[in-house]
């Protein structure tokens, strides 16, 4: 099971774009743990065109061994064309991705993200605008705007006709947000509707989850978001499972805590300690999943303020989980 993107043959899982989570540090971690590709956090086409420096910072190339894409959001074809040309020239990504899935009111309320699924024709025109930048174009969508309008196959066809080379589908509609179980049959409808690779997405936490989704839908690969946070080893596990190879050994707790500290350090270098540690609170909570004292540890994660707090948290995790410290 493989698929083509930007002239490469890929297997298994890419890192799903996640605003506030898949920053440069996380993308580099995913890349070095075997992600087939990484994608930037969503970036506003309008803000880029207006010269917003923070938006440009979001675009920094992962510069790893896997492919790198920049995801744009917006609803105006002219602005989209200008933003696509700008990032292609400035950052040299391997591909550009169009966000057709964001449910957040400040995005969808302005006609972008998942709101675009109500107008497949406009989705197509936006893809056409991005294609002009001369890079492969991918789209990431939901199953529909709401559960009464599950039109992902129609939107996918409009995008492919306009030049999209790959379609990723998060198996929920906008109104379902992030929690109810995904609907593999809706991803399968998209697989049937287009002749480009389709990637399935949603709730993949193990290599078995990835294989099950691929078998249930016929999708060519998967995108992993939350499941890879604090557990980037999942990429190598999925890669092995897809190739029919034995899974690599699970990481030790020491390895996981060393990665937590390395991630915090890389984030501090990238965006300064204050911003980095604020964002690290969310990242650290993922590392605490399934540990002894997880509730207390997640509580401590919310208090991370300086880099040394990450080291202290890691040391406490190791102590609690080797029985050297009292859980209370
Ligand atoms: C905090 C957060 C931020 C997200 N930001 C984006 C984004 O910028 N662009 C996008 O296409 N999807 C975004 N998503 C959706 C994810 O890419 C993915 O489709 C969704 O989380 C389901 O996959 P998962 O269960 O593997 O996390 C975001 C999800 C979360 C939880």
The tens place of each residue's pLDDT in the chain, 328 residues long, gives: 799 999 999 998 999 999 999 999 999 999 999 999 999 999 999 999 999 999 999 999 999 999 999 999 999 999 999 999 999 999 999 999 999 999 999 999 999 999 999 999 999 999 999 999 999 999 999 999 999 999 999 999 999 999 999 999 999 999 999 999 999 999 999 999 999 999 999 999 999 999 999 999 999 999 999 999 999 999 999 999 999 999 999 999 999 999 999 999 999 999 999 999 999 999 999 999 889 888 888 888 999 999 999 999 999 999 999 865 544 4
Structure tokens belonging to residue 90: 């400035």
**How far is the CA of 2 from the CAs of 19, 222, 233, in angstroms?**
27, 11, 20
Residue whose CA is at the smallest distance from ligand 1 atom 5: 18
Distance, CA of 155 to CA of 140 (rounded, Å):
11
Helix (H, G, I), strand (E, B) or coil at 178: coil
Using the atom order of ligand 1, give the atom closest to the CA of residue 223. 26
Measure 15 CA to ligand 1 centroid, in angstroms: 10
Under a CB-based contact definition with an 8 Å cutoff, are residues 280 and 267 in contact?
A: yes
Position 23 scores a pLDDT of 98
Distance, in Å, from the CA atom of 141 to the CA atom of 172, rounded to the nearest integer, reads: 9
Q: Which of 33, 53, 35, 36 is nearest to 44 (CA)?
A: 53
Ligand 1 mutation pick, 18, 72, 159, 167, max ligand atoms within 8 A of CB = 18
Residue 41 near residue 58 (C-beta atoms within 8 A):
yes
Return the best residue to mutate from 19, 59, 206, 285 for the ligand 1 pocket (most ligand atoms within 8 A of CB): 19
Please give the distance, rounded to the nearest whole angstrom, from the Cα atom of residue 225 to the centre of ligand 1: 6
Residue to probe by mutation, ligand 1, list 37, 142, 225, 231, most atoms within 8 Å of CB: 225
pLDDT in the model for residue 212: 98
Within 6 A (CB) of ligand 1 lie 16-21, 41-42, 71, 99, 101-102, 140, 170, 178, 201-204, 224-227
69 Cα: distance to centroid of ligand 1 (angstroms): 15
What are the φ/ψ torsions at residue 169 (nearest 5 degrees)? -125, 120
Q: Are 21 and 53 in contact (CB under 8 A)?
A: no
Q: Judge whether 59 counts as a catalytic residue.
A: no
Task: Specify the residue with its C-alpha closest to ligand 1, atom 3.
Answer: 18
Residue 140 Cα: closest atom of ligand 1: 11
Instruction: Tell me how far apart the alpha carbons of residues 34 and 37 are, in angstroms, rounded to a whole number.
Output: 8
Catalytic residue among 102, 123, 219, 268: 102
**Which ligand 1 atom sits nearest the alpha carbon of residue 203?**
25
The CATH class for the domain spanning 3-242 reads: alpha beta
Whole-number pLDDT of residue 328:
40
Q: Domain map of the chain by residue range?
A: 3-242, 253-321
**Per this entry, what is the length of the chain?**
328
């Amino acid at each position: 099971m493989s698929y083509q993107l930007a002239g490469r043959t890929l297997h298994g899982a890419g890192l799903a774009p996640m605003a506030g989570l898949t920053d440069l540090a996380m993308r580099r971690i995913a890349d070095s743990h075997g992600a087939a590709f990484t994608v930037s956090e969503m970036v506003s086409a309008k803000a880029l065109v207006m010269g917003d420096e923070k938006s440009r910072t979001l675009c920094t190339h992962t510069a790893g061994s896997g492919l790198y894409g920049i995801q744009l959001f917006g609803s105006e074809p002219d602005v989209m064309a200008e933003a696509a040309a700008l990032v292609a020239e400035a950052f040299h990504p391997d591909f550009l991705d169009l966000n057709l899935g964001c449910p957040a009111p400040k995005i969808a309320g302005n006609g972008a993200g998942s709101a675009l699924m109500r107008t497949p024709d406009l989705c197509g025109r936006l893809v056409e605008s991005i294609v002009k930048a001369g890079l492969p174009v991918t789209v990431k969508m939901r199953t529909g705007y709401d559960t009464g309008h599950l039109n992902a196959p129609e939107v996918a066809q409009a995008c492919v006709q306009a030049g999209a080379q790959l379609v990723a589908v998060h198996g929920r509609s906008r109104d379902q947000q992030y929690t109810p179980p995904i609907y593999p049959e809706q991803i399968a409808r998209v697989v049937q509707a287009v002749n480009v690779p389709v990637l399935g997405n949603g709730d993949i936490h193990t290599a078995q989850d990835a294989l099950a989704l691929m078998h249930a839908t016929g999708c060519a690969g998967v995108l992993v978001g939350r499941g890879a946070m604090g557990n980037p080893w999942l990429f190598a596990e999925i890669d092995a499972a897809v190739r029919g190879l034995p899974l690599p050994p699970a990481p030790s707790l020491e390895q996981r805590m060393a990665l937590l500290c390395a991630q915090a350090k890389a984030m501090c270098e990238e965006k300064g300690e204050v911003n980095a540690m604020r964002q690290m609170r969310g990242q650290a909570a993922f590392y605490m999943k399934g540990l002894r004292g997880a509730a207390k540890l997640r509580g401590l994660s919310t208090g991370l303020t300086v880099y040394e707090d990450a080291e202290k948290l890691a040391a406490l995790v190791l102590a609690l989980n080797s029985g050297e410290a009292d859980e209370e």
